[in-house]
Structure 1
Amino acid sequence: MTDRTPHPPPRPVPLDWGLATGLGMPRFAARRLTARARSLDPVRAFARHTLTRWNLTAALDDVTLVACELAANVLCHALRGEHASGCGWLALAHTHHTVLCTATDPDPRFPFGPPHHDMLAEDGWGLTLVGALSDAWGWHRLPDGAGKSVWAKISA
């Protein structure tokens, strides 16, 4: 006999799903990034909405710009070629007066820095901006060469 009772729809995932999933972080939010993205507007809205919800409006502009730069690197460099069908993640976490912004992608290559050959280049300066706006930033490869994470800490 088949159960024909309609099942309730899944509950929406709360923005602060870090605690709900047992990560132990009361202020954690993440957004999936795919190669189909047409602009950074959704990333910008995600960062602004998250920080406004956390009442961290003093850090809003810096965190939003850092989040957009890290997401742009994922979209423009990491989700191309052999990784075009993959996805990346942008995560924000707040703890002890610091916002941690992390972008993770499937490309294990070193993140590109500023162009040294052309000081007048119009692109390639994203990580320079990240470094200028953050207290610290860095990157690491994921286990088994499954990609990398680039992170930045911003005072809030």
Structure 2
Amino acid sequence: MGLTVPHFAAERLVPAYDAPRRARRFTRRTLNSWGEKAGVCDIVAVASELVTNAVRHAFRSTPSDAATWLALSATPHSVLCSVTDPSTTPPELMAATPWAANGRGLHVIEALSDDWGYALLANGPGKIVWARVPSRAPLAGQVHPAHPRGVSTDGGRSSRARRSSAAADSMGPVAPW
């Protein structure tokens, strides 16, 4: 079951072992329907990591009927991937050792995105974790000048500032761009 409007799509995911696979499939299908050709692998990887983190960390102490939402929203220059979860614990970059089996998800997200952060949900417990991934080619129906991967339209890298709950109150739950 999903919700789709032009350049916005959302999918409800049950936090199970196959949620990242379902997130990848939904993301690929959505990007294909938008005509996105470049950057698909990066966007799919970021969506998968966001969902993996939600399932692995945020759903440890929640009821089995809890769910998460993966939302994708496109602008001419990027695709925003957002995932909700019931935890209020902020995501944290961990130092991963070369032999560690996990702990690299946020590093992958940071490497592939222009910016990422989180906001506490205003209407109840939980948060939304989001990442803005550059779109290296215009989406269908959108025109913009080409720019190198990772370079914003003003010529500089994003500050990668993390959103606090105070910032979340001022920007709303899903408006990081």
Q: TM-score range by the shorter chain?
A: 0.7 to 0.9
Provide Cα deviations, 1:31-54, integer angstroms capped at 9, x if missing partner. Answer: 112123435221111111111111
Residue 22 of structure 2 corresponds to which residue in structure 1?
A: 42
Give the partner amino acid of 1:40: P
1:123 aligns with 2:102: yes
1:82-130 deviation per Cα after TM superposition (whole angstroms, max 9, x unaligned): 35431111100001221000011111111132236x4531201100000
Q: Do the aligned partners of 1:29 and 1:92 also contact (CA within 8 Å) in 2?
A: yes
- Size of the alignment, in residue pairs? 135
For 1:109 and 1:145, how far apart are their aligned partners in 2? 14
Bigger fraction of residues in helix:
1
Larger Rg: 1
- Give the corresponding residue for 2:42: 62
| Cross-structure match for 1:4 | none
SS for the counterpart of 2:23 is helix
Question: What's the counterpart of residue 81 of structure 1?
Answer: 61
Q: Percent identity?
A: 39
Counterpart residue identity of residue 47, structure 1 = T
- The SS at the match of 2:62 is helix
Shift of 1:27: 0.7
Q: Which residue of the other structure, out of 111, 128, 151, is the alignment partner of 1:149?
A: 128
Unaligned runs of 5+ in 1: 1-11, 18-25
2:120 alignment partner AA: R
- Write out per-residue CA displacement over residues 42-73 of structure 1, whole angstroms, 9 at most, x where no aligned residue: 11111111111111110110000000000101
**Alpha-carbon distance in 1 for matches of 2:19, 2:126:** 23
When normalised by structure 2's length, the TM-score is 0.69
**RMSD over aligned Cα, in angstroms?**
2.0
| Alignment gaps of 5+ in structure 2 | 136-177
Query: Are the equivalent residues in 1 in contact too, given 2:13–2:19 (CA < 8 A)?
Result: no
Name which of 83, 108, 132 aligns with 2:111.
132
Question: How many angstroms apart in 2 are the aligned matches of 1:47 and 1:132?
Answer: 19
Match in the other structure for 2:93: 113
Instruction: Report the TM-score when normalising by structure 1.
Output: 0.77
Aligned-partner Cα distance in 1 for 2:15–2:107: 24
**What SS does the aligned partner of 1:41 have?**
helix
1:29–1:50: 8 Å Cα contact kept in structure 2?
yes
Residue 143 of structure 1 aligns with an amino acid whose one-letter code is: A
Q: CA deviation at 1:145?
A: 5.1
